[in-house]
Amino acid sequence: MSLNLTKTFLLVCSIIFIDQSTKYLAVKFLAPDGTINLLPFLNLVYVENKGSAFGMFKFLGSEFFIFIAIIVTFFLIYMYLKDSKNWFIYSIIFAGALGNTIDRVVYGHVVDFIDLYIGKFHWPAFNVADSAITVGLILFLYKSLKK
């Protein structure tokens, strides 16, 4: 097994483990209506997200998003094979997509629990998988625009 493939496997497994562990804790300790105030800008909450980012398109159903995740997975594998020097970017996006897909298969929705806010403005709740996808996409855009 190549070094990048080993690192990819370990990174993906680590992100999925952290994602699924934190979601398990959110389900166990926050569901259905719990809130924990951690900092003046951060709460832990329990949200069942049946849509995509920010809860959009929930009318499409979990099956649609599972199908999209399968397409994204094949695309990321293709990109990884074509451009393995950016293995880290593809790995964290893949891990995030897989973490949320596991939720859709197990729960029928994605478990979100991180609530960032300023005053009365709350960013839509998110999770570790969403964070991995976001960081991966930002890095991908940065590297793409840098060329």
Catalytic residue positions? Answer: 112, 130
Please say whether the beta carbons of 125 and 100 come within 8 A.
no
Q: 3-class DSSP state for residue 47?
A: strand
- Half-sphere exposure at residue 146, Cβ-oriented, CA atoms within 13 angstroms: 6
Report d(CA 24, CA 27) in Å as an integer: 5
DSSP 3-state assignment of 51? Answer: coil
Distance (Å, whole) CA 73 – CA 59: 23
